């Protein structure tokens, strides 16, 4: 049996829609979490960052107005401060693995 697939999704984002389409073409019906309506908790973001093996800054969308509004360009912010301020990108979770769907085809590495 395959692990449950969860997609943190933004239906207005073309990359996120493409990631969802890839998953569905594989016959997988993921749990979809629209992260703009239901943002993940700081603990969930920590879990995702750890599964991705990245720094929180690596998943921040720098072109969004909130990036400057929240002063996330400040290089002195700690990882904890960044985690408490973000919910980003189409991210897919499968068991203990995670992938950022940018570009969307990257999710195939863990499916």
Cα 108 to chain centroid distance, Å, stands at: 15
Is 59 among the residues known to form the active site? Answer: no
Q: Name the active-site residue from 5, 8, 10, 13.
A: 13
Residues of 21-58 as b/e, b for ≥16 C-beta within 10 angstroms? Answer: ebbeeeeeebeebebeeeebeeebbbebbebbeeebee
Supply the DSSP symbol for 38.
S
Residues belonging to the active site = 13
């Amino acid at each position: 049996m395959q692990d449950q697939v969860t997609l943190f999704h933004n239906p207005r984002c073309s990359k996120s829609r493409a990631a969802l389409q890839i998953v569905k073409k594989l016959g997988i019906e993921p749990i979809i979490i629209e992260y703009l309506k239901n943002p993940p908790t700081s603990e969930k973001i920590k879990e995702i960052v750890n599964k991705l093996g990245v720094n929180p800054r690596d998943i921040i969308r720098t072109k969004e107005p909130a990036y400057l509004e929240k002063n996330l360009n400040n290089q002195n912010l700690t990882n904890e401060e960044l985690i408490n301020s973000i919910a980003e990108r189409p991210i897919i979770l499968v068991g203990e693995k995670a992938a950022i769907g940018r570009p969307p085809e990257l999710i195939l590495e863990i499916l």
